[in-house]
Amino acid sequence: MDLKTLTYIVVGLSFALYIGVAIWARAGSTKEFYIAGGSVHPVVNGMATAADWMSAASFISMAGLIAFLGYGGSVYLMGWTGGYVLLAVLLAPYLRKFGKFTVPEFIGDRYYSNAARIVAVICLIFISFTYVAGQMRGVGIVFSRFLEVDITTGLLVGMGLVFFYAVLGGMKGITYTQVAQYCVLIFAYTIPAVFISLQLTGNPLPQLGLGSNIGDIGFLTKLDGVVTDLGFAKYTSGDKSMIDVFAITLALMAGTAGLPHVIVRFFTVPKVSDARISAGWALVFIALLYTTAPAVGAMARYNLHTTVNSALATGGDVFAPEASLEGESRPGWMKRWEATGLIAWEDKNGDGRIQYYNEKSKDEAFLAKADAAGWKGNELGSKAKDGSFDGKVDRDIMVLANPEIAGLPDWVIALIAAGGIAAALSTAAGLLLVISSSISHDLLKGIFAKNISEKGELLAGRIAAAVAVVVAGYLGYNPPGFVAEVVAFAFGLACASLFPTIVMGIFNKKMNKEGAIAGMLTGLLFTMAYIVYFKGIFIEPMAKNEAANWLFGISPEGIGVVGALLNVSVAYIVGKFTAPCPDHIQHLVEDIRYPRGAGTAQAH
């Protein structure tokens, strides 16, 4: 059986499983549509939360970033996991006790203002659509390579599946579908990692394989030699400044704790104590992937170089004429991936061989040797949006292509395709539900049509979800960057807008509505403007994205921290010069801070 047929079977079976679960768990009320009836077991909710959390960024892109950033990629591991500690301690139990369906509903009630609720919805939509753009890009990448269809067709298939179980099942259907998707994605991620670790180091545990030997040399020492032989920086050295590492890590942590599609998961459990237990189980399930990712990234980088330049595996001379592969005999995995445009070869010196090296290296001796060998520039990269050669290998292919690069069996390759799709769709569904609930519950039911029936609200929620699916598909077709990069922007927006407002709403009983509204808008607009200025989301950037141009040396991925500080500062200043928070709201805040039992989520 060929790989394409096997992939169709494995992916098709996973789709059948998700659809079956969605039909079984179909939502019949607004409570089931928004919070799965508030009766999900903490362990089940922890697994669903892990799937909701471990998006295409975690599955497809994070190890790819680690592969090329080396130790600098640790900011994503620290930030995306550390955020759950903040969430479990600072937010989850209090929001669950408050007993509302959505984050904007909490903000609207806590700050006694429909305007605050509307601003929270605006923030949520910006965050969620930025986030979902990365997920739909992941869906398109997987379909375009493994099912050998164009990205547009792949997106349409993915949109159809998400539409089915998000619109039909609501949060109840999504919760149990995400449990199935977690099982698929974790097996799909770890099994290839075990094979590759065993193949390279003889150790079946990737976490330990990273510290094992290749022959008589430590794996990381060997990898350092491989990349420095081609003019790249040592894998084990980080090139980010301390302030940027701190800012990105903190932005990802606070963004995690402020993401509405993650927070809403803690409304689905029966009791306040279950919210903490759910967060703990989510960390356990997430750790299975996140402790494996560094090994996956490092081993993918090693395999990439050694399959393109065979001298690196044997310790031979990389400048020897026979060191690089001939173009016509380049690896089969590379030929298959070239059809996606995510990897490309341009023979700049006309020798029929692939020279993959750092043409911008600061090592003048290395560049002199490259020039003497007849190298005319790096020849391995990807295709830019306009079809031209881009001298950077697309980070998003590393995890998906790794089993093919390593020559693993076809069934393993088919499994990772199913896992990549599961990771992207699980998060996309959660985000789309948050968008639909913010429109149907927060805007329609909460403000503009308070007398709407439950049946009418449910229909509105499904229509909103359908529209959101279409917008998400467009964003996936025209993404603003790498999956993990785009997702990091969403975290920055959440860190700058919703996170400070929620924390102040819980721990500062005197914060008033004027301060909260001014703070949210300031944090959102500043962070969005900074990202657009340097990254040009859907437009051309207005400045080069270089460290010399960054404010305080902080990159667009970490600027949410500055946005959060501005949010808090503006909120306190405005709060001092406006009417104080009413007494009954202050008593409400005190009530949710004390352990007097679990609140029951009710629609209002």
Task: Give the single-character DSSP code of 61.
Answer: I
pLDDT category at 30 given cuts 50, 70, 90 is low
- Element of type H or E holding 213: strand 213-214
pLDDT category at 454 given cuts 50, 70, 90 is confident
Span of 345-359, 446-460, 523-537 with lowest mean pLDDT? 446-460
Highest mean pLDDT among 255-269, 486-500, 537-551: 486-500
- Say if residues 261 and 427 touch (Cβ distance below 8 Å): yes
Q: What pLDDT digit, counting tens, does each position of 106-157 carry?
A: 888 899 988 998 998 888 888 887 777 777 777 777 777 776 766 677 777 7
Q: Which residue has the higher pLDDT, 29 or 300?
A: 300
Q: Which residue has the higher pLDDT, 169 or 486?
A: 486
Question: Which residue from 541, 478, 423, 522 is spatially nearest to 162, judged by alpha carbons?
Answer: 423
Domains in the chain and their CATH numbers?
3-208+219-304+404-593 (1.20.1730.10)
Distances (CA, A) of 539 to 29, 171, 478: 41, 34, 11
pLDDT for residue 1: 73
Mean pLDDT of the chain: 81
Residue 24: both structure tokens together: 């079984």
- Say if residues 245 and 75 touch (Cβ distance below 8 Å): yes
Write down the residue that tokens 């986030």 correspond to: 131
Using a pLDDT cut of 70, give the percent of the chain over it: 89
Is the pLDDT score of 33 beyond 70?
A: no
Span of 246-255, 267-276, 547-556 with lowest mean pLDDT? 267-276
Strand ranges for 264-349 from DSSP E? 344-345
Is the pLDDT score of 181 beyond 50?
A: yes
Alpha helices in 202-290 (DSSP H): 206-209, 219-228, 242-258, 260-263, 272-290
Q: At what angle do helices 168-201 and 272-290 cross, to 10 degrees?
A: 30
Taking the CA atoms of residue 459, residue 464, residue 467 and residue 472 in that order, the dihedral angle to the nearest 10 degrees is: -130
Is the pLDDT score of 339 beyond 70?
A: yes
Q: Which residue has the higher pLDDT, 584 or 49?
A: 584
**DSSP 3-state assignment of 389?**
strand
Q: What pLDDT digit, counting tens, does each position of 80-90 carry?
A: 777 777 777 77
Is the pLDDT score of 520 beyond 90?
A: yes
